[in-house]
Structure 1
Amino acid sequence: MRVARTYWAARGTARSALRKAAAVTGRPSREDTPQQTLDPATLEVIRSGLDDQLDTILDRHEDAPGFVVFPPGIGWGVTLFQRPQQMALAFARIGYVVIYNLLENNAEMVRGFHEYAPRMYLAHVPDQAVDVLDRLPRPLVITYVYNFDWSRNLPGATTVYDHIDELEVFTAAYPITELRRWHAEAMRNADLVTGSARDLHRHLLESRPDALLVPNGVDYGHFAYYRETGQIPEGLESIAGRPLVGYYGALAEWLDYDLIEYAAKALPECEFVFIGPDYDGSSKKSVAFDLPNVTWLGPKPYTELPAYLARFDVATIPFEVSDVTHSVSPLKLFEYMAGGRPIVIPALREAGAYPGVLVGDDYEGYVARIKEALALGDDAEYVAKLRRTARNNTWERRVLTLVDAAARAETIRDKD
């Protein structure tokens, strides 16, 4: 085992800049740089250790209904807890065994398999040993545009291509020509294709009539069952007691900074609070965050978001209205609902399609909806509507849709 330990230690210094960037932004990454070639003796030791760990996992979960594998891409402990992590946990909660693969130089320092939660394993397996995962009995592999090609490592798997955003969203990390090529390959070869928003789904149907609509969901209990402790969350102490209009998520070019500025100036009695990382530096180009009633708190851990959400008098998603944002299923939407917070958005097709969401058709309408929403926080019927919608859109429901569809796809593939 000394050889293996030396190998892992030596590789621990590689590509640290990529790891640090991914930890802050949550941007998906690909390990296109070739990994160090292992000598046969080292590879044999590492493979033996992985096989032993996998034996233990298979024995421990012999009654599991199935196995789900996520290829390397978005890390686990990134600032923004996103769709892949939420789906992974939801699969585990309904009984599936999940292997969530991480990049080589992952922030969690995982080597081999590490049980993060019941039936939920974080993993890093070297490229030369990745075929050990082929021992998993007919796993379901959940892929995205930036890692679909990894699914070739598991030829016996049922592969899902989950199309979660317009390709332009990923151009900060990858060339659009590559994204289009990867997308086309995934559309041709995936056993199952899903879209996270209605506009995306409609486009998928043009070449994959079997594509499914699988919007984002919510870990309902994480937000609905939060109970106030009386302690004011960090950063809100100086503005407690004033009407608070809040947003959490990435600060990026898809935010409508002019709308934020307009609303903050039109409602000087309100505090506008933003929580999340500055994804692309776009906030620095706006004067909105220089206004006295606009506060940016930076990123906060996912575990702390319910405490902040509970302090919002109005929750908002102030995105620019565009083809890209019409195709976004905002992860935070159902979280806002589960927390029982009145919701105001611009005229976004996907987010505005759900009950209880107040839509402003223009800047004036957006401000008017905020004023209306400020009176709804104590409206029991309205809050019940929000929470009912959230319960109908849990992550457990989303992954059960995938399980059923994958079973049908597997049956069709077996017949062929």
Structure 2
Amino acid sequence: MGNRSRLSVHSLARRCFWLLPATLRNRLHGVRHAIVRWLRSRSVRIEIKQGDMTAARFSDEVLNAADHRLVVILEANVDWGITLFQRPHHMALALGRQDCLVIFQTTGDDLLGFRQVAENVWIANDSIVDEIPNAVRCFYSTSLLATREAMSAARRRGRVVYEYIDHIDASISGGKGAIRRLLDLKAAAFEGVADVIVSSAAALQKEALAECGQARCVCVPNGVDVAHYRGAGDSPVVVPASLVEFKGRYKQVVGYFGAIAPWLWYEVIEQVCAKMPDVGFVFIGPDYSGCVPLLPKLENVLYLGPVKYADLPAHARFFDACFIPFKPGDVARSTSPLKLYEYFALEKPVVVTADMNECTSYPEVFSGSDAAGLITSIRQALTVCDDEAYRARLRDLADQNSWNVRASAYVEKIESLEANN
């Protein structure tokens, strides 16, 4: 089978996979990942779509044409064009702004070759990327594809960064096979295959420091593209009529955007919404593992499905306060939710469950350990949503936690390795 045929089969199979019920998708993830790995292992170069680059052109016109601060390769993890814009996307864009040449490997996006998506940022689906010498290759603790062997091979070609961004848990990482692979990848990184361990939360950093020492570790939490969320009210995006109508029925609306996933505290969400019938609750995001049916089926609850990252600010301007209701446990305690900083940039008060240590470290954040506590915190948050002094503090927090700040710390840590060698 030629590479173009394999790409077509992969694209068709991918579309069919995401049309399946979420519960069935979750059970088939292991098979899907195996097929993706097989397709990647058999790739060869063929014709390139108009506007994209062959490996030879990319090498001549981009890779070797200018001096960049670093060449950073984000190993295949998620596609560039997915609805839920995640840490790898944001970090790629921010590193590009730090004068790094970033190559974001993808197994989809209808791409063969190289395609520029932002300043200094290229997505790539070409095995030639594996041969680029002296690059920094980044592996994520949530990777759908990465293995110990791949990390070891990458170390022989340049620097390796392990991004420890989530507690490895069945609710995030998949079935037993995926858990074993990800724990083995983490073990390899901690044992020394990775030059740098980047942790996204204090709990993860504490674990990394105990195993690896200060010299190899840096904590780089999630952040926010501040400019993307400022001026949301001026956006030309047309939001659904259902959201406009819903806002018209409720004087105050509490919103959530992100994955509708197993780590949300559904039974308490149900209690909170049921006991606050005067407040509207809006949930935005893709269905992970068939969890949408767990959302409350109440008159004051609106689920809008997934919304493109570009359109999120226009939707979120209808929120008066924002909600991050993770259920208590290791995932909540070790998560740096990207949406926290996005809510700050929107200047919206945030209410979280009490176990979310990365959030409650900010005194501006409201929290509760049960339904009653969360109801009290939501009421308090709604009293300050129009307080200009409070909103100014949130603006400052967003600026302090921008992706540009994060990428700067990231690059400085890698460059310190070179300086000490």
TM over 0.5: yes
Report the alpha carbon displacement of residue 83 of structure 1 after superposing the two structures with TM. Answer: 0.4
Instruction: Indicate which of 338, 353, 357 corresponds to 2:361.
Output: 353
How far 1:332 sits from its partner (Å)? 0.2
Query: Which residue of 209, 228, 231 maps to 2:213?
Result: 209
**Residues 336 and 148 (structure 1), Cα distance of their counterparts in 2 relative to 1, 3 Å cut:** farther
Query: Is the partner of 2:234 in helix, strand or coil?
Result: coil
Q: What SS does structure 2 have at the residue aligned with 1:350?
A: helix
SS state of the match for residue 13, structure 1?
helix
Structure 1 equivalent of residue 71 of structure 2: 67
Return the alpha-carbon distance in structure 2 between the equivalents of residues 296 and 16 of structure 1: 28
Write out aligned runs for 1:158-169 (5 A): 158-168=159-169, 169=172
* Identity of matched residues, %: 32
> Aligned residue for 1:336?
343
Structure 1 residues 148, 221: CA separation in 2 closer, same or farther (over 3 Å shift)? farther
Which of 2, 16, 28 is the aligned partner of 1:7? 2
What's the offset of the Cα at 1:58? 2.7
Residue 59 of structure 2 is matched in structure 1 by 54
Match of 1:193 in 2: 197
- 1:280 Cα deviation from its structure 2 partner: 0.8
Distance of aligned partners of 1:205 and 1:292 in 2 relative to their CA distance in 1, 3 Å threshold: same
Q: TM-score, normalised by structure 1?
A: 0.87
Counterpart position of 1:253: 262
Counterpart of 1:267 in structure 2: which amino acid?
M
Whether the 8 Å contact between 1:355 and 1:386 is mirrored in structure 2 is no
CA displacement at 1:300 relative to structure 2: 0.2
**TM-score (ref. length: structure 2):** 0.86
CA-CA distance at 1:306 after TM superposition: 0.6
2:66 aligned with 1:32: no
Distance 1:43 1:259, change over 3 A: closer
Aligned length: 393
Partner Cα separation in structure 1 for residue 352 and residue 40 of structure 2: 45
Distance 1:36 1:167, change over 3 A: closer
- Indicate which of 361, 384, 388 corresponds to 1:376: 384
Return the offset for 1:49: 4.1
For the pair 1:277 / 2:286, whether they are aligned, the reply is yes
**Does 1:218 pair with 2:224?**
yes
Residue 117 of structure 1 aligns to which amino acid in structure 2? A
Stretches of structure 2 lacking an aligned partner (at least 5 in a row): none
- The whole-number CA distance in structure 2 between the counterparts of 1:124 and 1:283 is 33
* Contact 2:200/2:221 (8 A) holds in 1: yes
Sort the Cα spacing of 1:17 and 1:252 in 2 relative to 1 into closer, same or farther, 3 A: farther
Give the equivalent residue in structure 2 for 1:3.
Answer: none
Deviations 1:223-268 (A, max 9, x none): 1232335977213022123211100001111111111111111110
1:87-115 deviation per Cα after TM superposition (whole angstroms, max 9, x unaligned): 00001122211111111xx1x21111111
The residue type equivalent to 2:168 in the other structure is: L
Aligned-pair RMSD on alpha carbons? 2.7
> Secondary structure, in 3 states, of the residue corresponding to 1:240?
helix
Q: CA separation in 1, counterparts of 2:131 and 2:213? A: 34
Q: Residue deviations 1:127-146, cap 9 Å, x none?
A: xx444423xxx322221133
Match of 1:410 among 384, 407, 418: 418
Q: Which residue of 1 aligns with 2:125?
A: 124
Q: Which residue of 2 aligns with 1:76?
A: 80
- Tell me how far apart the structure 1 counterparts of residues 406 and 272 of structure 2 sit (CA, whole Å): 35
Letter in 1 for 2:4: A
1:299 partner letter: P
